[in-house]
Structure 1
Amino acid sequence: MEIAMKLSGLSALLLVALGVGSAAPALAMTNGTPADGDGHPAVVALLRSDGYWARPFCSGILLTGKVVLTASHCLQAALFFQQSGSQILATNDSQLQQDSAGWLPISTLIKVSAAASIVLNPAYRNGYDHDVSAMVLASPIDVPADAFPALPPTNILDELKASKYLQQATFAVLGYGIVEKPKGRWVSQFTGERRVGLLGFSALDKRFIHQSQLVNKGEDGACNGDSGGPSLLQIGGTNYVVGVTSTGDIPCYSTNVAARTDTDEALDFLTRVLAENP
């Protein structure tokens, strides 16, 4: 498949450009986490397409029918793909009809919309700093109103850490990444399913939530293809999107790192994008 070979080469160049080294972009849900089905219809896959074939490269979540919250490094990749002639799409189909190499005909997608604009966080340069950005779709993806997550109050995670709430918290992390399972050796496969994993809390700093991902203790986690997917935390009956999957250890077995969305910078940025795209 000529287009597949071409885009695979571009993807390899992109990883070099991003400087992937000791930490890797969370470009798979590990430990055989369950398929999400219709549980979180606001979670989307980001795809690059030549107009016929498409392939997921990151994940995200709809804040409204048209505004997708995702990672800045995902949208840097999207800009790279656009410059190379690819179209950027988003779909919330819970099951993608991917082949063994991860490609799918776009004609198989039920709900899909093209990117109208990519709004890269102005503070973002490279790597994983300021890794919260947004994409605006040309047409809305229809989901139930109660499926959209709430943006968190400013610095709520610091308050929750101080109150010891985070130490017992469970984060729901979602994405369309490759599934990896430890079976003597790590094996991965394309399933095309949106999946949900449950993680615990490890540490918090000014930029990131460090979530535990101890597969030997039955915990789940994100990896390849899940970058930009949400970290959801339920507080008082409200489902807040408190982070987006950003990075982690290369084997994807010990730590998931999510860029915080409760900082002044992230909330100011997202509030502005939402106001400009009602």
Structure 2
Amino acid sequence: MIAYRQVVRAMSIGVMGLLALGCSGTDLTAPEEGPTENVQSPIINGSPDGHDAIVGTYTGSSLCTGTIVSTKGTTGYVLTAAHCCESDSPPKQVRIGADFRAAKAYTVKSYLAHASYTGNPGSSYDFCMVSFNDGDGNMQVIPALPPELNNVKVGDTLDAVGYGRTENEPHGSSNLALKRLHVTYKVKGIGTSGLETDFDSRQGGTCEGDSGGPDLVTVGGKTYVYGVHSTVDTYDCNNTSTSGVVSKVSPWIQNFISAN
């Protein structure tokens, strides 16, 4: 395990113009379109992903990824990373769709970062829950993996999903496709706390903007969120990345859903 990591940051994106993307008809700010000739695949070595339960979260200037892990009536509950829920730049929208720019946007009701998150890169509790109303209750869901089903071990294959940038674009680039892509990878290591799992990004993985996105696992024919993207070792996303293991915070997830 590498002791210090850069956080897989929420990706800052240019802001320009207004688009009516909200279900209430309210005008919502949209990210600026980048030059199409230079657009790359957003997740390293990825391909298009079809899970509409995997969404974007937007602060008004930066993007993260998250997963709808539960619903209650017309309320959806998104699991993302705590560093995507900073108090000075909180999540304002949840966007549902394969293309972040064209996705439907819904206003965030509430959010809560895990109380044990320290704010330091590599914190083991880099988790945040976000609630929103979609208006019709037709949301797709990928549940968080419960502890009793967590048998993931080193060498197992998981599926990482996100809207983030590629390794070929400069840090902070606004020249982005912002499409939801996925890539499979093998687990390289699991931390002694059980709250971290490593994988080698050089073979394909997460980068800036994929923060909060899921690592998916299939158990008994059903798909679950095993991990939440948290950190990378380098800004070019060409080394080891880390995710937090959600089964270790299962009671906290359920408590947020019950209270909101």
TM-score using structure 2 length: 0.74
Pick one of 131, 137, 143 that aligns with 2:132.
137
Pick one of 59, 65, 78 that aligns with 1:59.
65
Secondary structure at the aligned position of 2:6 is classed as strand
Match of 1:178 in 2: 165
Runs of 4+ in 1 over 3 A off after TM superposition: 138-144, 185-189
- The alignment of Structure 1 onto Structure 2 pairs a total of residues equal to 216
Please give the root-mean-square deviation of Cα atoms over the aligned residues, in Å: 2.6
Match of 1:151 in 2: 144
Asked whether the 8 Å contact 1:200–1:213 carries over to 2, the reply is no
Match of 2:104 in 1: 111
d(CA) in 1 for partners of 2:181, 2:189: 24
1:135 positional shift: 0.8
Pick one of 53, 56, 59 that aligns with 1:48.
59
d(CA) in 1 for partners of 2:103, 2:84: 23
Pick one of 77, 83, 88 that aligns with 1:73.
83
1:173 positional shift: 0.8
TM-score using structure 1 length: 0.70
Match of 1:8 in 2: none
Asked whether the 8 Å contact 1:171–1:199 carries over to 2, the reply is yes
Q: Identity of aligned pairs, percent? A: 22
What amino acid does structure 1 have at the position aligned with 2:165?
Answer: I
What amino acid does structure 2 have at the position aligned with 1:237?
Answer: G
Match of 1:267 in 2: 250
Alignment deviations for residues 75-126 of structure 1 (CA, whole Å, 9 cap, x no partner): 12xx2125xxxx71110121133xxxxxxxxxxx452111111112122221
Match of 1:13 in 2: none
1:260 positional shift: 0.8
1:195 positional shift: 1.1
Structure 2: gaps spanning 5 or more residues: 10-41
d(CA) in 2 for partners of 1:43, 1:141: 18
What amino acid does structure 2 have at the position aligned with 1:96?
Answer: F
More helix by share: 1
Distance 1:75 1:153, change over 3 A: same
d(CA) in 2 for partners of 1:42, 1:226: 15
